[in-house]
Structure 1
Amino acid sequence: MEEQLLEVKNLKTSFFTHVGEVKAIRDISFSVRKGEAVGIVGESGSGKSVTSLSIMQLQHPGRIMGGEILFHGEDLLKKNKKEIRKMRSSKIAMIFQDPMTSLNALITIGSQISEAVLEHEKLSKKQAMERAVEMLRLVGIPDPEERIHCYPHEFSGGMRQRVMIAMALSCNPELLIADEPTTALDVTIQAQILRLLNDLKERTNTSIILITHDLGVVASSCSRIIVMYGGQIMETGTVEDIFYSPLHPYTMGLLKSIPKAGGSRERLQSIAGTPPDMLQPPAGCPFYPRCEFAMGVCRERTVPEFHRGEEHAVRCWLCHPGAPVVDKYENQKGGVRRGTASPD
């Protein structure tokens, strides 16, 4: 059996505002194996980034309300601030969304990379700078001996993202969390960054959590996909499960919105409606108000997890043995009418 590197169990994270508690993450569980790449997808506000920040315990001003985050079997939520600070970069590293603002504009690239090395390893400043050169070379920055003396504004967007990857990998972490690493980059640079992450995973056996709103990005980069919506996990499975045998209507809606190369020229379908208000999240399935197959039970009861194989699991009442049979792959006018059917 493959080693479980990270296990998230029943995680709950909330933000407290003057109007009430925003329940950003609501009881999610998943795992990441050693050397595996897992993609977390979903539209904006689904809870993807808050999940990654909770793992790193950088969710401030949010608060983790419950659950466990096990790394090599040890619960990170039981560690003190000093232990967590030591773990960051050395064990778990993160590439943040925007390389334009994540780098300090007043400090050279080499100094920023070597700072992380000096924090976690017993090396001299010279050795730390040599490590910075080595990491820039690893991520494909030309003339790294010269570029370590440059400032962030002297780099293009793609090169700044490579610097962020170099910084994250400088202490040889076992888990790399990449939060929207291709945001604001053109498609050519996106492909280069994704190819770089794949190469680094193969060479260093680093586990990767790739967070994105683009299903196309994870198709060639990950072995498993987690689909999030409304602070919950709707479906999880292998790439083949999600792309060729999707079970949740939300997953199907995401897939229908992806342009298909070489296919017939058809208008892309959007998912009607808006995401739920996390101040007052729905009691049942969070996707209920937008789902064309919604039933009365979807609104009223929390959806259990139904398994369709070793890796494939979904939270949808349509997968209940007693649910009515509908053609989920076509937009049927005569499908299940909201509020009239129930698997009970």
Structure 2
Amino acid sequence: MKKIFTLSAASVAFAAMTTPVQAASDEVNVYSYRQPFLVEPMFKEFTKETGINVNVIFAKKGLVEKLVQEGEYSPADVILTTDISRLVELENKDVVQALDSEVIESNIPAQYRDSKDNWFALTIRTRSVYSSRSRTGKLGAGFDYADLADPQFKGKICTRSGKHPYNVSLVASMIAHKGEAATETWLENVKDNLARKPQGNDRAQVKAIKEGLCDVSLGNSYYLGKMVSDEKQKAWADSVYINFPNQNTTGTHVNVSGMAMAKYAPNKENARKLMEFLTGNTAQQMYAEVNYEYPVKAGVKRSELVASWGDFKADTLPLEQIAENHSKAIRLLDKVKFDL
């Protein structure tokens, strides 16, 4: 039986530990920022195939701090998270260890894994641009992120906070491609084109398009699938087109969800088995169907809805290079006072 703990309950239980956690032959412990509905079906299938039980702590924040506090007494084996910045944070805080796996290496393209094997991507999501069906129409194949700074979009753009990890990663990728000076100018012009102060989440921006507050917005691709499947939000989704910028240049910016092996994993072999399973066909197909994400493994079929959005060219910039520009991106966002 898979055990599911809240972060607070687990903290109390693990705080009392005074000796390193002993390995168990039939279990693996996961700390997860990913939601239960998404990963529980995969864990059940993994247990069915291997006989290894999966114990999970789900949390919205605080897992890195928890791992640091627990140190060598931590029961964590595998960490699941979203966004390249959070994967790199795990590495920078020295709470993960390298995993050399031929299976994972063959399943995940090099640009989507750490060169030192400290973390690995599991799914891909695009940072797309949504456009009003009635007022703007489908943006052409030549549309670039750079075009969001064009005067034609004056007062027509909505976005969540510039300092949200999804937007920070986009800005970091632009720094990598165009340099800091050009990216700063771009940010200033995009800010001038905003219809309102950055606020809300990605879905709130599509809602604003439906309500006529703006005509275009930045948003992760999988949110369109979530809105389509939500009776209350389907009208929002029906009011927009999803666009994949930079198809004639560098390709659409992509971010990831990912995993890493905890530094003091007591069940290292079971952790390796789970991590390899999550990169395989079964789990990758589940990711695609449940959360409308793009599988990171080549050849795995997309969900029917995601496939209906069409093919796109993804930016081939290594995730590590994006991460290297993360702090520069935050400095630029602060400098231009993007959220103010």
Bucket of the pairwise TM-score, normalised by the shorter protein? under 0.3
- Bigger proportion of residues as helix: 2
Which of structures 1 and 2 has the larger relative contact order (alpha carbons within 8 angstroms, sep 6+)? 2
Give the TM-score normalised by the residue count of structure 1.
0.26
Return the index of the structure with the highest Cα Rg: 1
- Bigger proportion of residues as strand: 1
Give the TM-score normalised by the residue count of structure 2.
0.26
